[in-house]
A and B are shown apart, each in its own frame.
Chain A
Amino acid sequence: MTVVDEEQRQSAPRPVGLGVVGWLRWGWRLLTSMRTALILLFLFALASVPGSVFPQRGVDPGQVARYFRDDPGKAEWLDRLWLFDVFRSPWFAAIYLLLFLSLIGCVLPRTLTHLKEIRRRPPAAPRNLGRLPYSAEFEGELTVEEAAARLRKRRFRVDTGPDWVAAEKGHLRETGNLVFHVALLVLLLAVGAGALYGYRGNVLVVEGDGFANTVAAYDRYVPGSAVTAESLEPFSFTLDDFQASYIAPGHEKQGQPLDYSARLSVLDTPGAPARTFDLRVNVPLDVNGTLTYLIGHGYAPTFRITDGDGQVAFEGAVPCLVSNTGTYESECVIKVPDAKPQQLAFLGRFLPSTLPAGEAWISVFPGAANPTVQIWPFAGDLGLDSGEPQSVYDLGAHKNIKPLGTMTVQPRPLAVGESMDLPGNAGKIEFTGVKEWITLQTTYDPGRLPALLASIAAVLGLVFSLTVRRRRVWVRMKDGRVTVGGLTRTEGANFADEFAEITDSLRGPTSGERDVR
């Protein structure tokens, strides 16, 4: 589509009394004009701004919750405008759907026109070349063949007549433009396909435990709407070992993590031989395009809990939530519904590198140099049968439990191997060891590669469409006089230098010039 056509489109007169069809046609023209596409692209960028200003549910739900707690009135209003879900909001969707439509409507007709343009010969020379924006005239014997050859050498497409040569160059501009637009379309489609056919899952795994890639195994699972449970890649693995290292004490950044690595034994399919894989940040596990990432870690102290009847009611690891990422001081909740005669529960505070600090104990380093746990025991009815959902990391919902004995603010911490007898012969809790847990995110996104290719194509197309100029040159020769005329069809472009070069090359070594610009 040429500049002129584009202008005509822009100024398409508004239909007066044309009825519904007329209005629709007008609306479609307006929507599919290149200017509208650009405006929509800017709107798209602008609309993403609030997504960076307000916390987003999809990115940081905790922060959103904090916003609601601190300023509920404002948060509610923001929420009504989808400002915590900008990228899933109807208004954001409206912009990109319009952009999508606009691109389609813009690209299809332009591609057809362009294909015709490319096959067309350069238009014949106008009568008076001296009237063109760029022109030159000189004396010399230049044959049509010679002129055509010299222009071809400059990669012009050339057509000839008895005493004229017409040449044209720069279709790559429109080609690039179309590639850019098509690539944007493909990019949007790839992102959409990824959201539809992909899924994301998060899971916490303790050292020694395994994971099999099934919907039920995830703590949190977010499938695209076209994903079925059977389509999950059937791999599994065991977490053999997790190692983290930190900057040693004494440095300004003491305790900053240096490296994490998780050693996995992976079965790519249920019957396959196991392979070990070293999972690290930046090095995800890849099983046929389903990627598993290491995204977090923490401590899982292990306990043996004996109840009032003398039976072991609990034995195993308890993943604790990190409450201070600088020192990995963590909070643990242990629920023992099997304990008799009454159910038991414990709050714990895990300190990986314990030091006494006055009446209290603190952790001074994230590594487990001197791990201890402070324990606060409870007994009563945990109400786990009531059917209400309960968090494994929270005791707050249990109203029918009471502290065992007198609560102290700072109970003496237990070291590994130590145990504590519960008041009133309610049993015993023994701190048996320390394991670590990791959190993993598994993603499957079939749109990744197409999205990458499309964005590369978009950039290349854009570069061509911004740098290539479309230009035409005509040469007429008659009675030893050669006239050259030039025209660039790109506004704002400077064609003077190139035109001078072309004229020089046509003139060849002979002179006798007269510039009539």
Chain B
Amino acid sequence: MSAENLATLSDQLILAAILLYLGAMIGYALELAFAPKPAPVLVAANGDTIERPEPPVAWPLRAGAIGTLLAWVGLAANVGGTLTRGLAVGRWPWGNMYEFVVAMVLAAVTVFLVMQVRYPVRFLGAFVCVVGAVGLGFAARVLYTQAGPVVPALDSYWVAIHVSAAVAASGLFIVGGVAAVLYLVRGDGLSRLPGKAELEQVAHRVIVIAFPIWTFAVISGALWADKAWGRYWGWDPKEVWAFITWVAYAAYLHARATAGWKGKAALIVSLVAFGCLMFNLVGVNIFFGGLHSYADVAK
């Protein structure tokens, strides 16, 4: 297949992924809205719990299962779109902001689906898929650039190291951010969503994994900068915000581990950190420029 065909195929696959994520979102949302509520546990006077028969409402569960299926197929399309783009341009397919955001969505959806295999986190599905569809849509509408070679500075194996780490960490942070937002919007009473403790645990778990990866992304960025720009750290806007993001997530972990902050306060810190992450992605690339402006978006 010619490079042009591959590039077109890539664009079509990304479009398909958007639609599939939207479908998955609807499936998950139906399940979340109509599946039987978790009943309050009734305790009899003698201390035994009473089993309360649930009315058999099966279709919402089926909708959720279809959502999962669609999400997997969407992920396959997303992977396919990224792969074909890489093949079309003959390099790592994350050399500009469009490709970067596509890869980030890929990472986030992967994180969710893999988590779902092991943990009961299906409730996250609707929200992660919305983020996925909106992210890809934003990339395709606003950030899109034609497939092509990158500037010489990006023609380096460091892309595979530095940007992959940034992508992976961002994907995890997105899932953590979704869980944190759900925690904050969830009331204290009964809800379709799982308990606050569980939401908090999900957020914490992914952030704990993401943090070292993010650290690695920043350090490998410094190593690359030492090769490409003649200094390992120069307070370029992207570097400033990578550092701020790092400190903010460290603050979250620290607040939880050492100061014993639980729940709301700690999660707000994590969302501030997430805001820094997103600002670094969107704000710095679009408003500030600097050495690190490979985003290749029309200003």
Partners in one complex: yes
Chain B 221-245: CB-based contact to A (< 8 A → 1; otherwise 0) = 0111011111111111100110110
Do the beta carbons of B153 and A52 come within 8 Å of each other?
Answer: no
Q: Which residues of A contact B227 (CB under 8 A)?
A: 282-284
Classify chain A's interface size: 35 or more
Do the beta carbons of A282 and B226 come within 8 Å of each other?
Answer: no
Is A496 part of the contact surface with B, judged by Cβ < 8 Å? no
Residue of B212, B224, B232 with most chain A CB atoms under a 10 A cut-off? B232
Q: Which residues of A contact B145 (CB under 8 A)?
A: 252-253
Q: Which residues of A contact B155 (CB under 8 A)?
A: 258-259, 281-282
Contact residue among B222, B224, B231 (Cβ-Cβ distance under 8 Å from A443): B231
A200 to B234: give the CA distance in the assembly, Å: 13
Is A347 part of the contact surface with B, judged by Cβ < 8 Å? no
Is B60 part of the contact surface with A, judged by Cβ < 8 Å? no
Is B149 part of the contact surface with A, judged by Cβ < 8 Å? yes
Do the beta carbons of A48 and B151 come within 8 Å of each other?
Answer: no
Do the beta carbons of A52 and B151 come within 8 Å of each other?
Answer: no
A465 to B212: give the CA distance in the assembly, Å: 13
Do the beta carbons of A455 and B219 come within 8 Å of each other?
Answer: yes
A283 to B156: give the CA distance in the assembly, Å: 9
Q: Which residues of A contact B146 (CB under 8 A)?
A: 251-253
Is A59 part of the contact surface with B, judged by Cβ < 8 Å? yes
> Which residue of chain A has its CB nearest to the CB of B231?
A443
**How many residues does chain B have at the interface if contact means C-beta atoms less than 8 Å apart?**
51
A282 to B235: give the CA distance in the assembly, Å: 19
Is A293 part of the contact surface with B, judged by Cβ < 8 Å? yes
> Which residue of chain A has its CB nearest to the CB of B157?
A282
Is B186 part of the contact surface with A, judged by Cβ < 8 Å? no
Do the beta carbons of B256 and A49 come within 8 Å of each other?
Answer: no
Is A491 part of the contact surface with B, judged by Cβ < 8 Å? yes
Q: Which residues of A contact B241 (CB under 8 A)?
A: 52
Do the beta carbons of A491 and B259 come within 8 Å of each other?
Answer: yes
Is A51 part of the contact surface with B, judged by Cβ < 8 Å? yes
Q: Which residues of A contact B230 (CB under 8 A)?
A: 200, 284, 291, 293, 295, 441, 443
Q: Which residues of A contact B260 (CB under 8 A)?
A: 491-492
Q: Which of A476-506 contact B (CB under 8 A)?
A: 490-493
Q: Which of A25-78 contact B (CB under 8 A)?
A: 38, 41-42, 44-46, 48-49, 51-53, 56, 58-60
> Which residue of chain B has its CB nearest to the CB of A294?
B152
Is A451 part of the contact surface with B, judged by Cβ < 8 Å? yes
Do the beta carbons of A280 and B152 come within 8 Å of each other?
Answer: yes
Is B42 part of the contact surface with A, judged by Cβ < 8 Å? no
Contact residue among A56, A58, A258 (Cβ-Cβ distance under 8 Å from B152): A258
The segment from B67-75, B110-118, B246-254 that touches chain A is B246-254
Q: Which residues of A contact B291 (CB under 8 A)?
A: 59
The segment from A267-275, A402-410, A456-464 that touches chain B is A456-464
Do the beta carbons of A45 and B149 come within 8 Å of each other?
Answer: no
Contact residue among A247, A466, A467 (Cβ-Cβ distance under 8 Å from B149): A247
Is A210 part of the contact surface with B, judged by Cβ < 8 Å? no
Contact residue among B257, B261, B284 (Cβ-Cβ distance under 8 Å from A466): B257
Do the beta carbons of A257 and B226 come within 8 Å of each other?
Answer: no
The 10 closest A-B pairs by CB, nearest first: A491-B260, A492-B260, A52-B237, A45-B247, A52-B240, A252-B146, A293-B230, A281-B152, A282-B156, A45-B244
Name B residues whose Cβ lies closer than 8 Å to a Cβ of A: 145-146, 148-149, 151-153, 155-156, 158, 208, 212, 215-216, 219, 222-224, 226-237, 240-241, 243-244, 247-248, 250-251, 253-254, 256-262, 284, 288, 290-291
19 extra interchain contacts, Cβ-Cβ under 8 A, other than A41-B247, A492-B261?
Answer: A44-B247, A45-B247, A48-B235, A52-B235, A52-B241, A58-B234, A87-B235, A200-B231, A252-B145, A253-B148, A253-B149, A256-B148, A257-B152, A282-B155, A282-B156, A295-B229, A451-B232, A466-B208, A492-B256
